[in-house]
Amino acid sequence: MPITKIQYKNLKEYYDYQRLLEFNRELLKKRLNRVEGKVFGPLGVINADNMFDDIWATVSSDDLEKPDKNWVPKDSKLKFEWE
């Protein structure tokens, strides 16, 4: 269910931060999918999902990139009703 204007107005900072996190999760997954099959560890090719979990656990709020104005999250719970 998308975020309504009233919900967004009441919890703007919360939703902005959740969307920022989602943008960065999507961005990291996209970048890891690009290099999947090209990164090797001691036991062979490293899985992108495993790499995501390891990298995401180390990401701090200072590392987060801001989304473009036209970015729409894939997760419908984080979409605005007007997107």
User: 62-65, long-range: CB within 8 Å, 24+ apart, which pairs?
Assistant: 63/24, 64/20, 64/21, 64/24, 65/23, 65/24, 65/27
Q: Which pLDDT does position 77 carry in this prediction?
A: 95
Q: Which pLDDT does position 41 carry in this prediction?
A: 77
pLDDT tens string, the chain, 83 residues long: the values are 899 999 999 999 999 999 999 999 999 999 999 988 887 878 888 888 888 999 999 999 999 999 999 999 999 999 999 99
Task: Give, in order, the Cα–Cα distances in Å from 25 to each of 5, 37, 65.
Answer: 24, 20, 10
The pTM for the full model equals 0.86
Q: Which pLDDT does position 40 carry in this prediction?
A: 81
